[in-house]
Amino acid sequence: METKVISSGIKYTSLPESYVRPESERPRLSEVSDCQNVPVVDLGFGDRNLMVRQIGDACRDYGFFQVINHGVSKDAVDKMLETATEFFSLPVEEKLKLYSDDPAKTTRLSTSFNVKKETVHNWRDYLRLHCYPLEKYVPEWPSNPPSFKEMVSNYCAQVRELGLRLEEAIAESLGLDKECIKKVLGDQGQHMAVNYYPPCPQPDLTYGLPGHTDPNALTILLQDLNVAGLQVLRDGRWLAVKPHPDAFVVNIGDQLQALSNGIYKSVWHRAVVNADQPRLSVASFLCPCDHAVISAPKPLTADGSPVVYRDFTYAQYYKKFWSRNLDQEHCLELFKN
Ligand SMILES: O=C(O)CCC(=O)C(=O)O
């Protein structure tokens, strides 16, 4: 029986045709080297000026960084990973009760990226949840495993705090008032993608997720400590980001690129798969509220720098993003002046 997801217990001995990328689009894994100097920012160090400067440098030069001493408890992180592992180990019939390929659904299990739009699939299943406000969405979250709602909501609340603190530091690093980014983004939504990449029979022919930038403001990514898979594009080359113990990877998303008038870069990243081990990652996305108007604050163009993007609402952007395939040109290009 063909199932809609790949975490079905079926052992694949070769990659199904619908996952095979054309030669020119393959990941060329042998050419990827490790990212040697991933910026690691210690948020517990105490020297705020230094921390803000490090974040600014990382956002400008890399579009991503890692944070340690970030305030999310080790217990919350461990429980999040355990719960995610338990969820994806459930019998496929149980998981499929949550299956949907409609991006508008606020709680859903899905596969690949956008199965209705894409021509080649990706070797990933994912559970997508809306997470803010928690009391609105938690009732529709999975109740199997039984601890799911409690463990994941605890994790989400702590990650949200971290994200809002990071947005303050990012605003300061641009020379803006600490509250400025949060004010532009409004009462931010929060989404989560719990990504599960089963072992893949031919990892050199496909992706877990192909190169993309995130459409939201800020992404806080928890990587499986034991299985690497995240790669970032830097100076035209894909580099592997080794999981750092007790760290999150923080990605600048498209909205912060637009809001910073292009000073900060929304990083291109991708997930590759491997033949031996399943891999988990948990991406938490902070998203502007739907009617937030994304516009570079005046101080960023006071020196006469041209305004790079026309004003748009997040709702307009999000609709455009999901109407396309993932590995097309940068969606922000469509909003350039
Ligand atoms: O699995 C990863 O490391 C990356 C996940 C990701 O890019 C996403 O969920 O948007």
38-61 confidence digits (pLDDT tens): 999 999 988 999 999 999 999 999
Ligand 1 center–CA 229 separation, angstroms: 9
How far away, in angstroms, is 127 Cα from ligand 1 center? 12
User: Rounded distance, CA 21 to CA 132, Å?
Assistant: 36
In 10 A of CB 201, how many CB atoms? 17
- Ligand 1 proximity of 272 Cβ (cutoff 6 Å): no
Q: How far is the CA of 212 from the centre of ligand 1 (A)?
A: 9
Using the mean position of ligand 1's atoms as its centre, give its distance from the Cα of residue 271 in Å.
Answer: 6
Regarding the beta carbon of 128 and ligand 1, being less than 6 Å apart is answered no
Torsion angle of the four alpha carbons 172, 264, 56, 155, in this order, in degrees rounded to the nearest 10 = 80
Q: What is the pLDDT of residue 218?
A: 98
Query: Is residue 209 lining ligand 1, measured as CB closer than 6 Å?
Result: yes
Query: Exposed/middle/buried for 103, CB within 10 Å: 0-12, 13-18, 19+?
Result: middle
Q: For a pocket test of ligand 1, which of 32, 114, 126, 221 has the largest count of ligand atoms closer than 8 A to its C-beta?
A: 221
**What would the pLDDT profile of 142-198 be if each residue is shown by its tens digit?**
999 999 999 999 999 999 999 999 999 999 999 999 999 999 999 999 999 999 999
Q: From 2.60.120.330, 3.40.30.10, 3.40.50.150, 3.90.1570.10, which CATH number describes the 28-335 domain? A: 2.60.120.330
- Domain residue ranges of the chain, discontinuous segments joined by +: 28-335
> Is the beta carbon of 231 within 6 A of some atom in ligand 1?
no
> What spacing in Å lies between the alpha carbon of 283 and ligand 1's midpoint?
6
Name the band, by pLDDT with cuts 50, 70 and 90, for residue 2: low
pLDDT, position 1: 39
Nearest Cα residue to atom 4 of ligand 1: 271
Q: How far apart are CA 72 and CA 50, in angstroms?
A: 21
Residues in the chain, total: 337
Residue 203 neighbours by CB under 8 Å, 6+ apart: 27, 29, 123, 272, 273, 274, 275
